[in-house]
Amino acid sequence: MGMPRRFNYQHLLYFWAVVRAGSLRRACEELSLSAPTISAQLRTLEHRMGEKLLTKSGRTLVPTEVGKLVYGYADEIFGLGREMVDALENQPSRRPLRLVVGIDDVVPKETAHRLIEPALRMEHAVRIVCREGTLDRLAADLAVHEIDVVLSDAALTPGLNVRAYSHHLGESAITWMSMPRIAAALRRGFPKSLDGVPMLLPTSDTAIRRAIDQWLARLDIHALIVGEFEDYGLLREFARAGHGLIPVPALQVDYFTELYGLKPIGIAGGVSVQFYALSIERKIKHPAVAAIVQSARQIFASGAGWGKRGKSAKR
């Protein structure tokens, strides 16, 4: 195969992403591009290479023998590119260290803020870029090195098909909260008092929701679910409007009380929400990610809560 003197590395990236994703559809989702766009660029790349790089196997696209060779080189090229970016970002200099954080929709924004904040207190200046979305989408961005770390309530699973690592930060009990008038009535006879009471919950595809569903079933509590939300911030706003009670990580009960006026009802015994930092590094090297992980583990280990101004507050 005669390599052309010049070719478009963006087209090579599309080819690399399709092979890594295992399908054109997943690659389209990861790259936020349409199938016709990627298909056209792949044809252009094959034309410039003078070889067929992909072939159909059932409903999937797989690399040809030449495609496997090209993919091997592409994997090294983009791997070296990432190492170059890491080296430039981590070298001592006056310019800010860039940190791209993905935040799973189910993680309360207040929790995400407290987890990320230690990165801004580093001696070296840091510029953060926050992206929100579902775990599937964020994991895809992590796989193609568009995100440095993802904050989530769930570890990566084989089904996500991402080569990355889950760093456990800690866990927190779950406290039911609502507006004061509702909370005062529900404290009496808790947890049976929750039977038939309007609830606002995360969507069923989240780890915290699965744990809550099991808790409700175990106590034979009928859940009157009036709303399900991917975004925790929207869930909180509906609770502030008095539409039902919500589950809140116990570490942030003080915060939700001080800032939003919600009051605790009771703790969901045996239920906890986990927090993870997901990265492509087995051993974290990015200084800002390391600061986040270290600080988070200290906070969770201490069992302290987070007050409105970010201070620890005992419960």
Output the DSSP codes for 168-232.
Answer: EEEEEEEEEEE-HHHHHHHHTTTTGGGTT-EEEEE-TTSHHHHHHHHHHHHTTPPPEEEEEESSH
Indicate whether 251 pLDDT > 60.
yes
CATH of domain 171-274: 3.40.190.10
Please tell me if the domain spanning 9-89 has the same topology as the one spanning 92-169+275-313: no
For residues 80 and 142, give the distance between their C-alpha atoms in angstroms, rounded to a whole number.
16
191-210 residue pLDDT tens? 999 999 999 999 998 888 99
As a whole number, mean pLDDT of residues 64-87 equals: 81
CA dist 135 → 32, 178, 242 (Å):
15, 27, 29
Across the strands, what pairs with 225? 199
Domain ranges of the chain: 9-89, 92-169+275-313, 171-274
277-295 residue pLDDT tens? 999 888 888 899 999 999 9
In the chain, the N- to C-terminal Cα span, in Å, equals 68
Across the strands, what pairs with 129? 100
Model confidence band, residue 252 (pLDDT cutoffs 50, 70, 90): confident
Whole-number pLDDT of residue 294: 92
5-20 residue pLDDT tens? 466 788 888 888 888 8
Query: Which run of H or of E encompasses 267?
Result: strand 263-279
Model confidence band, residue 94 (pLDDT cutoffs 50, 70, 90): low
As a whole number, mean pLDDT of residues 43-65 equals: 84
Three-state DSSP state, 167: strand
As a whole number, mean pLDDT of residues 130-144 equals: 88
As a whole number, mean pLDDT of residues 91-115 equals: 83
Model confidence band, residue 306 (pLDDT cutoffs 50, 70, 90): low
Whole-number pLDDT of residue 269: 92
Q: Which CATH class is domain 9-89?
A: mainly alpha
CA atoms within 13 Å, Cβ hemisphere of 25:
2
CATH superfamily assigned to domain 92-169+275-313: Periplasmic binding protein-like II (3.40.190.10)
Whole-number pLDDT of residue 103: 95
